[in-house]
Amino acid sequence: MEFGKIKDKHITAAAELEAACLDTAWTEAQIKEAAAREDTLYLSATEGEELCAVASCVFSAFEAMIENVATAEEHRRKNAAAGLLRLIEAEAANRGLEQISLEVASRNAAAIALYTKAGFKRAGIRKGFYRRQNDDALVMIKELDAQ
């Protein structure tokens, strides 16, 4: 599996993947704009020409905020999302940031397990955040080592 910044040829597939997986999916236009910004990282995991997973992250002065992570069902449990998280962490550390934060549906046990394994800890809850799923969002944070 290869990991890196999303390529233009995968933007349509990325929007479709997000729409299939997420309550907070981005459109093709949003993904294209994010991929071009300095304060945003839009990553993909691919096998050959096939898009396996995507992740987006926005950087601020002190933290990286993971916006979306989506993995195609047939590629789950193959370390696609974990590889994308490692790239985000490396970029956040490179930028000298203090933490990475994210929100995850409270009933998404697989994602919570992934984030916990990656070193994220529960920091709070946002009641009713995911309307389509009728679910709360767990806020999770990973503190980064001081540079």
| Across 19-23, 64-68, 136-140, least confident range | 19-23
What is the SS3 assignment for 120? coil
Provide the total of helices (H) and of strands (E) in the chain, helices listed first.
4, 7
Q: Say if residue 147's pLDDT is above 50.
A: no
146 burial level (CB within 10 Å; 0-12, 13-18, 19+): exposed
Q: For residue 41, what are the β-bridge partners?
A: 57
Q: Say if residue 133's pLDDT is above 80.
A: no
Confidence of residue 22 (pLDDT cuts 50, 70, 90): confident
pLDDT digits (tens, 9 = 90+) for 71-121: 988 988 888 999 999 999 999 999 999 999 999 989 989 999 999 999 999
Q: Say if residue 146's pLDDT is above 70.
A: no
**What is the pTM assigned to this prediction?**
0.88
C-alpha–C-alpha distance, residues 9 and 42, integer Å: 13
pLDDT digits (tens, 9 = 90+) for 29-79: 999 999 999 999 999 999 999 999 999 999 998 899 999 999 988 988 888
Query: In this structure, what is the dihedral angle of CA atoms 62, 81, 37, 140, given to the nearest 10 degrees?
Result: -30
Q: For residue 127, what are the β-bridge partners?
A: none
Report the pLDDT value the prediction gives residue 135, as an integer from 0 to 100.
Answer: 86
| Mean pLDDT within 15-26 | 86
Report the pLDDT value the prediction gives residue 24, as an integer from 0 to 100.
Answer: 77
Task: Write 107-111 long-range contacts (CB < 8 A, 24+).
Answer: 107/133, 107/135, 108/135, 110/76, 111/69, 111/81
